[in-house]
Amino acid sequence: MDDQPQGRQPRTLTRSQFLKTLYLTELALVVLSFAITGLTDQRLFPFGFTLAAESLLLGLGSAVPIALLVLLASVGLVSQLGWIKRAMAGIKDRLKQVLGSTMLSLTAVDIVLLSAAAGFAEELFFRGLLQSYIGVIGSAFVFGLLHALTPAYFVMATAIGLYFGYLYEVSGNLLIPMVGHAVYDVFALYLLRWEFTRSYSDR
């Protein structure tokens, strides 16, 4: 008989529940963004947005620095910095408690669609809407708070929010942080699924 982990195991969402929760959350952000801006702006899409090949490439490239930093921290290449190692371990443990086997049930299509939805909706709300009212730092802080599964994850999410906020501030084009956010999320979710798969297979 296999040894069972001690303690009560956290209950995780099914794949269907997880997808519905995430999609409804992102939809709510989109609706809220348009509802609030619609009170003062009658344009169909009242946000800085230009669909251009150059912006798409810049968006793709903007995901690379964050992905590299997360990869270096995750695989232990910065293990000499003990606080980073401990912070990443805490984030992974918390995500495993929250997501558990749900992450393993996600398909490649699920990951891509979820990432695209998050990139569009969250950048629309946090950068397109909030940043216009409370600035780069304020919107990044709120972004971090709403991703604060652990103190370290709050800091990490806030830093990412500052990065994407700066990109929007400089470019004036939401497409760049939207694409960067979506591409980074694809990378992060695949990395997380790989970590979970390795963790469960080592039991």
* CA angle, 39 then 135 then 83, to 5°: 135
pLDDT digits 0-9 by tens, 98-123: 777 788 889 999 999 999 999 999 99
- Least confident range from 14-28, 37-51, 127-141: namely 37-51
pLDDT at 104: 86
Distances (CA, A) of 36 to 41, 132, 153, 167, 183: 9, 12, 28, 23, 27
Q: What is the mean pLDDT of the chain?
A: 86
pLDDT digits 0-9 by tens, 67-97: 998 888 776 665 555 667 777 777 777 877 7
Query: Secondary structure of 161-197 in the HEC alphabet?
Result: HHHHHHHHHHHCCCHHHHHHHHHHHHHHHHHHHHHHH
**What is the pTM (predicted TM-score) of this model?**
0.87
Confidence of residue 160 (pLDDT cuts 50, 70, 90): very high
pLDDT at 7: 43
**For residue 164, pLDDT beyond 60:** yes
> How confident is the model over 176-188, as a mean pLDDT?
96
Q: Which of the listed ranges 3-7, 54-58, 149-153, 189-193 does the model predict with the highest average pLDDT? A: 54-58
| Calpha distance 40→67 (Å, rounded) | 37
Question: How many contiguous H segments (helices) and E segments (strands) does the chain have?
Answer: 8, 0
